[in-house]
Structure 1
Amino acid sequence: MHEFYVGPYRQMFKREKQDEDDLFMIAVLGEALGVPDPAAYYTAELLPAVWDNFHAWHRRIGIPRSPLDHIGCC
């Protein structure tokens, strides 16, 4: 039954998951990207969780090289 209900919408769910992940990365990396972030103190502890996905994220959103000076992933 799961495949019956979810199957036709698989692409939509995947796209929405990527949008959520992009928003999460911007929230966590906002202070480093120069965006004023009142929750920077709380999101700083999440940085180790997003380092593994950072390269794929900035390539997916169209930034060819790392936007952060202190992170050289490319």
Structure 2
Amino acid sequence: MAAARRRRDTMRRRWKAFSKGLHEFYIGPYRQTFLREKRDEDDMFMIAVLGEALGVPDPAAYYTAELMPAVWEDFHDWHRRIGIPRSPLDHIACC
């Protein structure tokens, strides 16, 4: 019984290592692409949520207003990343 358990554990470890290797083989070369695409989507989300505050007319401002607290933490990194050295909003002084 102990030998069977050891074999099962060994096979489980090997399968896990094989699975990790396959994941790295298929995902590894595209990791930077996926991260860049996620960053671009996050930037578009920030613009959609903060559009009204930035002076862009936003027909969905009523719905995006409740999402503002979710983006405050990332606001400073976002405006620096898109090339704005100081906070573009008068009521948010993060710099």
- TM-score normalised to structure 2 length: 0.77
Larger radius of gyration: 2
1:12 equivalent in alignment to 2:33: yes
1:39 equivalent in alignment to 2:57: no
Q: Return the offset for 1:2.
A: 1.4
User: How many residues are aligned here?
Assistant: 74
Counterpart in 1 of 2:17?
Answer: none
d(CA) in 2 for partners of 1:29 and 1:45?
11
Which sections of structure 1, spanning at least 5 residues, go unmatched? none
RMSD: 0.5
Higher relative contact order (CA 8 A, sep 6+): 1
- The percent identity for this pair of structures is 85
Q: Deviations over 1:39-65 (max 9, x none)?
A: 000000000000000000000000000
4+ residue segments displaced more than 6 Å:
none
1:69 equivalent in alignment to 2:90: yes
Which sections of structure 2, spanning at least 5 residues, go unmatched? 1-21
- TM-score normalised to structure 1 length: 0.98
